[in-house]
Structure formats: C-alpha cells, structure tokens
Chains A and B, each alone.
Chain A
Amino acid sequence: MNKSICLCFQVHQPYRLRTYRFFDIGKRHFYYDEYNNRTVIQRVSERCYLPMNELVMDMIARYGDKVKFAFSFSGSVVEQLDLYAPSTLDSFKNILKSGNVELLAETYGHSLASLANKDAFKKEVLAHKRLMRDVFGMTPKTFHNTELIYSNDIGADVADMGFDLIFTEGAKHVLGWRSPNYMYFNAKNPKLKVLLRNDRLSDDIALNFTSSPITAQDYALKIKAFPETEEIVNIFVNYETFGECYAAETGIFDFMRYLPQAVFDNTDCNFIMPHQAVKLMQPMGVFDAPIPLSCCDEERDLSPWIGNSMQDDAFNTLYDCYNMVKRIKNEEIIRDWHALQDAGVFRNMCTKFDDNTPYDTYINFMNILTDFKLRLESEIHSMKAKKIVAQ
C-alpha cells in the first residue's frame, strides 16, 4: 500500500491580556490589550495567513485532488480575524470550500479544559463545533486537543463527544520502539482511533528550518526512507511558521511550494485528509497514555502549563469558576470565559523559560480572575432575582 501524508495546520492567536491593575477590579471589565491584538492579527495576516493561503490555493489549482490539507482554527483566532482582518477570514473560507481541506475540531479558547473537568471540556468543544458550523459551514469529525495534549481519559472523553478520530503527539516515552507512522486506538475506548504527529518531520519545518535548512527534495527523500510497511506520516505544524516565525526570506514558502512536486517525483506517497485514514487503514495497536502528554518541549509533558504553585493556583481558581459559568447564558461573560482559558497565559507563568515574566503574569491574571468572579456572582444574583420576579 502507498504511504499517506497528512499535512495539518494549526491556526491560533490568543487574546493578549492588558495590564489589569488592582484598582480596576470590579470597575473595568475589559481584559484585553486591544491595540496589541489588532496589530498582531493584522501583521500575521499580512506576513503569513494571506500569502500562505494564496500558496495553498495555487497548490490546489495545480495538483487538484492530489493535494490535501487539514486546518484547525481556535475560536479566539476566528473571532479576532472577524474583528480585525475580515478579508483574511474570507480567504480561509475560500480554502475550505475547495473540498481538499478537512476542518479539525479543538477547544474554543485553545484551553486546558481537558485537564480540569469533563463538562468544562465538553462546553469548549461544543462551542467550537458550533462556531465552525456557523463560520465555515462544516462540522469537524477529527479532534485535536490544545498543544496535542492527550491521555487515555481525555481520549475517552473525546470519544463520548462523538468523535472517532483524534490527533496527538507521537511521544517517544509512550511509543517506545513503535513508529508514529501508523494509526492506533485509544486504550479505554477502541472506537476512537489515534493519529500521531511525526515529531521529526514536523520539527524539520516548524523548529529547525533555519538552524538546519532542508530542501523539499531532501524532505521527500526522508519520507521515502521510512520502512515500506509504514502507512501514514502526519505533519502537524503551526500555520504561523510560514512567514511569521520564519520570514519569507528564509525560503519557507518556496519549500512548501515545491513539497508536493518533490513528493510526487521521489516517492509513491499520496496526500490525504486525516479522517480518510479511518476508512483507509486498520489501527495497528493500542496507544496507551495513562499520563497526559503534549507536543511541547523535550519532556513532551504538561510542565509548560501546570506544575508550579502559581500555575496551579491560577488553574484551580479559573476552573473553580466553571460551577457558576455553566449556569450563565450572558454572551459577554461566556466570551470572556473562553478567552481567559488560553493555555498561553499558563505558559507565561512557567519558570523554566527565559522569555516570559511568570510573576507579573500571575498577578495580572489573578486580578482579572477576581474581577471575573465578581461578575459571575452578580450575574447569578440577578438571574435569581429575575426568577423570583417572574414567579
């Protein structure tokens, strides 16, 4: 059987939070750095989204059915594109109309809800599903969690939500001697199939493109070098890799432009969309991950987001809010709820990196959560009051 290649792109921009002072608590409920958010969205649109979308459309026009892609959009990026760069959103809609693209499901706010509680997780996923239907007119069938975080339990929760395929990291400490280039199944619910990111090939593009540049031809030869029997190579990268992380001058766009041709010339692989795998192949075995894993850092664990006392306090405080949030219908509050869950804020509280300010982030975020809780309480209070009046 010919090997299949799955090319998946994650499109996400968080809502960046403004400096929210103690004096603002209970008075100002706008949490975002609007200027920064607008600037970033517009810059990334110009450098990455628009040129890369054009490239994807070119490839589709040139190779027709032979090229396939998958895209995953967070709710946060879709909202912000709608606000600050609507023409870019239209350009994404065009790509999705082509029929060569699968739309993936994820959490609405690029959140860690899967680690907190099942209901909060489900709320995130359903909200995202609705948004995808409203904006793109498509209902995703394949799920991928924030930063590819996965465990047997998370997989089982995802299966309960009606998905039959999930994307996660081909983490070495779970795979052992086995190859990521097969389809597997979940350890608790075998109905859920699992596709694994090939970290080496993905990192060749997303992580090492400038430190050890590679040509499309060499890349195709690397794929060819995999054992014949292996079935699927999953490349999962952030869309912002193209043009934003690596500027056009690095040749990253040219690499992508020639990749399909190089694959067709050098290998007998074909491109597929992830969900096609469910029909095309049989799972090779169980992917048993009792402890959550992720696609980040050398450790491939949760340490970038939770584990230190600041992250844990913030995480628990945030998800303690869920008991109130679940009773509330107020759209503004729900919108904030999604935005505040972004995993990035927890990463900024991590003390193992040099490029962030963990203490400032923690203080700022806790101030925001204090205000958010006040709003939840007063909303619930007024809901009760209305109920009494209605009676």
Chain B
Amino acid sequence: MKVLMFGWEFPPHITGGLGTACYGMTKGLAKNGVEVLFVVPKAFGDEDQSSVRLLNASDVTVNLDNETDRRYWDRVHYMEVGSNIIPYVGPEEYASMVTDYRATDHFKSSVFAPRYEFSGKYGANLMEEVARYALIGSSLATKYDFDIIHAHDWLTYSAGIAAKETTGKPLVVHMHATEFDRSGENINTDVYAIERRGMEMADLVITVSNLTRNIVIEKYGINPDKVITVHNAVEPNSKSLSEYDKSGLNAKIVTFLGRITYQKGPEYFVEAAYKIIQQTSDVHFVMAGTGDLLKKMIRRVSQLKIGSRFHFTGFLKGQDVDRMFAMTDVFVMPSISEPFGIVPLEAMRLNVPVVISKQSGVSEVLKHALKVDFWDINGLADCIYGLCNYKAISELFKKEGKDEVDTLRWEAASKKIIEVYNLALSK
C-alpha cells in the first residue's frame, strides 16, 4: 500500500506535537510495509527554489534511531514544498506576524523569536496559502502513484480534497486538534468551515482521542460511523536515563513543557507553583516552550516574586527536550483542552511521573498518571507535592509508568491506521 500524506511539520523542524506524531506514525507505517509520500510546506528564504523539492528521507537530518530503522525509511519519501504555512498559527496571528515582519524587516533577535522566514513572495493571507498548498496537492497527486490520501489537520485538508478530486482516490483526514481546542468557544469560522468540509469530503475521519471524536460528532455534525479513534503513541527512547546529565540544582524539578498558549493552561501551573513554593524550600519549577502567553507568565512569576525558583527555558527541541525530562521529577500538563497530548508519554519514557488534566485525550489511555481538573489549582498542587515528597508513589509511577508507555507503540497504532485505510479502500 502507498499513501500520499499531507502534513505541516516533520522533525527536526517542529514546533509541537504534530511533527512528532507524524514522525512516529510514518515510521510505524513503514515498519508495517506501507509506503509513504510525505509532503510538508516549508517557508523558503530563497525565492528561486522550485516549488517542489523531492527529498529522500535519508537526506533529512532526522535522528535515525538505529541502522535497522534505516531500511524502513527507504519506504518514506519526504517532500518540502515552498509555502508560508506555519504550524499552530491561526489566520489572525499569521496576519499580524506578516505585518510585524514587514515592519521590522526581520524578527528581533531573541531567544524566543520564531525561526520562520518569509520570502515576501507569497500573500499575507493564510487562507491564500492554504489554497496554494491545495494547488500543489492536486498537481502532486497527478504525478505520483498511490492508493490513498491521508491529510493531517485543517491546513492540509484543502490539499487532500484537491488530490481526491483529481484522482478519485479515497481520503482519510486526521483530526489532531479542532478549532475549539485552539480557540475555546471563540472560534474562527473560516477555519471551522475548512475543518468541516474536510471531514465531510473524507471517506473516513481519524480522531486522536474519544474526547476529540465527541467534539467532531457534536460540534461538526459528522456521521459517527465515519469517525474512528486511533490514540497516538510514542517512540521508545534510544538512550537510557543514565546517559543524560543530572540537574545542577540540588532540588526537585517540576516541569511544564509545551506551547505557552491558552489551550495548554500555563497559568494553572504558575499558580500551583506559587502554592508549593510557599510550602517547601527545595522545589524548582521550569516552564519550557514559547507562545503568546509567555510574557504574561513571566510577568505573573515576577509579581508573585518566585523568579528565583521558577525558570523559563524558551523553546526546546531535539536532545534538549529529553535532557529536560532527565532532570525532571514531576511533569505537569494542565491543558484546558488537549485532543491527545503526546508530551506526557515522552516524559514517562524517561521515568518521569506525570500529572495530567482530565481534559486531555491522553488521560483516556494512561493508567499510571495522576489526573486532575485543569482548573483545580489546589488539586494540582497536591499531586505535585505528593510526587515530590512521597517516595512510594513516585517510585511506583516511575517504574509502572515507563512500562505502560513502552506498550503504547506507534507500530501498534499504525496497524489501526492501516485498518482504517483498508476500510476506506473497501468503501
């Protein structure tokens, strides 16, 4: 079987969980004998680049876990197409980024500055970019041979639909997050319309959790028979814990790692931290990541006068993420709305006990995690305090959590995805 897959990010150039998920998923599919043609938009700095660049996966600086994996990668073709689509940015934010960019010529240099470069060749409107990507999608579809189309999240749905219309091949769309997760109730209706049209045009819809499945059915009115949940998974770690250096702080470290946006509930983490810092003298907190609420969080931390025990690292990627986990004693994900939430699995992989919000998709699959309501700051503080101070529970979580997460493999999840493909093909 051969899949034409549209994504919007792929390691090592990632800003969030989607890239990591796509990486694991394609690898799992390749291991199960599926060939993948992976297409990713990329903002080229150079205008002379041809619109389509074909890359073999081995040309990409992906950290291939080991030599045996390499042969699976021969089944994956990786493509970057010139586009200004930016992951995790809505139309409004995109417009203001372009305006800012044009005003300053380039982003201010800062640890937290985004890494994107605009060529100036393309429009300032994200919707135009989506449409352009769709055009590329349909032209690619005529050039390559494949059996099924798989599109990840709304930015790529138009491309998926275009490919389906030109070839008549079945389309599977994958909902990693809905507009309601990103914006609360205050949704962008254009984005909503694209999501809905994508799911209506698709032969089957994959959701990353039952939480997301319910949203898709209730808020988008999609036929429940069409929607199948396939939980995300995580790749096993190649390095063991002992290979990472320990923290130089002689203290417990509690970590938040993710985009610092409304959806992730960073303020609940800060408030819980404040409660614990008042009670203890040897717990430090780290907020890793960046996002539109970062400055607000920094201001709040300084207002609470806890800056000497609450640290910000900026955006971490690659090895630094695992380095951070290796120093972490408790990982916290207080997301207000999290379709799945892959990061706790990455933490557990390195023997880190986790506290997650009940409003996350990952809480459906995890047994060895403490679960609280995102808004329950006291409950959150209790969990963190317990895992920092009571050895019995933290030791249990370290071990059992690791065992549990090691069973949540992409190889298994990919088998479910292949079942979905077969179902779509038989329709």
Q: Is the CB of B249 within 8 A of A310?
A: no
Q: Is the CB of B294 within 8 A of A359?
A: yes
Q: Is the CB of A363 within 8 A of B298?
A: yes
Stretch of B46-54, B108-116, B148-156, B374-382 on the interface side: B108-116
Q: Is the CB of A374 within 8 A of B248?
A: yes
Q: Is the CB of B311 within 8 A of A22?
A: yes
Q: Is the CB of A360 within 8 A of B110?
A: yes
Q: Could you tell me the distance between the alpha carbons of A21 and B245 in the complex, rounded to whole angstroms? A: 15
The closest CB in chain B to the CB of A371 belongs to B248
Q: Is the CB of A27 within 8 A of B299?
A: no
Is B250's CB within 8 Å of the partner chain A?
yes
Q: Output the least CB separation between B337 and chain A (Å).
A: 26
Q: Is the CB of B308 within 8 A of A374?
A: no
The closest CB in chain B to the CB of A23 belongs to B323
Is A357's CB within 8 Å of the partner chain B?
yes
Is A19's CB within 8 Å of the partner chain B?
yes
Residues of B near A26 (CB, < 8 A) are 247-250
Residues of B near A373 (CB, < 8 A) are 308
Is B291's CB within 8 Å of the partner chain A?
no
Q: Output the least CB separation between A65 and chain B (Å).
A: 51
Residues of A near B250 (CB, < 8 A) are 26, 374
Contacts A27-B248, A357-B108, A371-B248; is A310 near B311 (CB within 8 Å)? no
Digitize B221-250: 1 where CB-to-A-CB distance is under 8 Å, 0 elsewhere: 000000000000000000000000101111
Residues of B near A313 (CB, < 8 A) are 301-303, 305-308
Q: Output the least CB separation between A116 and chain B (Å).
A: 15
Q: Is the CB of A363 within 8 A of B311?
A: yes
Residues of A near B119 (CB, < 8 A) are none
Residues of B near A366 (CB, < 8 A) are 307-308, 311
Digitize A132-148: 1 where CB-to-B-CB distance is under 8 Å, 0 elsewhere: 00000000000000000
Q: Could you tell me the distance between the alpha carbons of A316 and B299 in the complex, rounded to whole angstroms? A: 15
Is A346's CB within 8 Å of the partner chain B?
no
Is B18's CB within 8 Å of the partner chain A?
no
Residues of A near B245 (CB, < 8 A) are 27
Q: Output the least CB separation between A83 and chain B (Å).
A: 27
Residues of B near A92 (CB, < 8 A) are none
Q: Is the CB of B249 within 8 A of A21?
A: no
Digitize A1-44: 1 where CB-to-B-CB distance is under 8 Å, 0 elsewhere: 00000000000000000010111111100000000000000000
Q: Report which of B248, B284, B294, B303 forms a contact with A24, defined as CB distance below 8 A.
A: B248
Is A89's CB within 8 Å of the partner chain B?
no
Q: Is the CB of B249 within 8 A of A374?
A: yes
Q: Could you tell me the distance between the alpha carbons of A265 and B302 in the complex, rounded to whole angstroms? A: 57
Q: Could you tell me the distance between the alpha carbons of A308 and B312 in the complex, rounded to whole angstroms? A: 19
Q: Output the least CB separation between B310 and chain A (Å).
A: 8
Q: Output the least CB separation between A29 and chain B (Å).
A: 10
How many inter-chain residue pairs (CB < 8 Å) link A and B?
76
Q: Could you tell me the distance between the alpha carbons of A139 and B295 in the complex, rounded to whole angstroms? A: 46
Q: Could you tell me the distance between the alpha carbons of A360 and B298 in the complex, rounded to whole angstroms? A: 9
Digitize A333-363: 1 where CB-to-B-CB distance is under 8 Å, 0 elsewhere: 0000000000000000000000001011011
Q: Is the CB of B294 within 8 A of A314?
A: no
Interface of chain B, helix or strand or loop or mixed?
A: mixed
Is B76's CB within 8 Å of the partner chain A?
no
Q: Is the CB of A310 within 8 A of B302?
A: yes
Digitize B304-330: 1 where CB-to-A-CB distance is under 8 Å, 0 elsewhere: 011111011110000010011001000
Q: Is the CB of B302 within 8 A of A22?
A: no
Is A309's CB within 8 Å of the partner chain B?
yes
Is B126's CB within 8 Å of the partner chain A?
no
Q: Is the CB of B308 within 8 A of A360?
A: no
Q: Is the CB of A363 within 8 A of B312?
A: yes
Q: Output the least CB separation between B332 and chain A (Å).
A: 16
Q: Is the CB of B298 within 8 A of A359?
A: yes
Digitize A107-121: 1 where CB-to-B-CB distance is under 8 Å, 0 elsewhere: 000000000000000
Is A189's CB within 8 Å of the partner chain B?
no
Residues of B near A25 (CB, < 8 A) are 247-249, 311
Is B286's CB within 8 Å of the partner chain A?
yes
Contacts A313-B302, A374-B249; is A369 near B308 (CB within 8 Å)? yes
Q: Output the least CB separation between A160 and chain B (Å).
A: 31
Q: Output the least CB separation between A280 and chain B (Å).
A: 48
Q: Output the least CB separation between B111 and chain A (Å).
A: 6
Residues of B near A357 (CB, < 8 A) are 108, 110
Q: Is the CB of B111 within 8 A of A317?
A: no
30 pairs from A and B in contact (CB 8 Å cutoff)? A22-B313, A25-B249, A27-B248, A308-B302, A309-B299, A310-B298, A310-B302, A312-B305, A313-B302, A313-B303, A313-B306, A314-B302, A314-B307, A317-B307, A317-B308, A357-B110, A359-B294, A359-B298, A360-B112, A362-B307, A363-B298, A363-B311, A363-B314, A367-B311, A369-B308, A370-B308, A370-B309, A373-B308, A374-B248, A374-B249
Additional A-B contacts beyond A27-B248, A370-B308 (9; CB < 8 A): A22-B312, A25-B248, A26-B249, A359-B294, A359-B295, A369-B308, A370-B249, A371-B248, A373-B308
Binding site for B on A (CB under 8 A): 19, 21-27, 308-310, 312-314, 316-317, 357, 359-360, 362-363, 366-367, 369-371, 373-374
Which 7 pairs, one residue from A and one from B, show the smallest C-beta to C-beta distance?
Answer: A26-B248, A309-B302, A27-B248, A310-B302, A313-B302, A309-B303, A366-B307
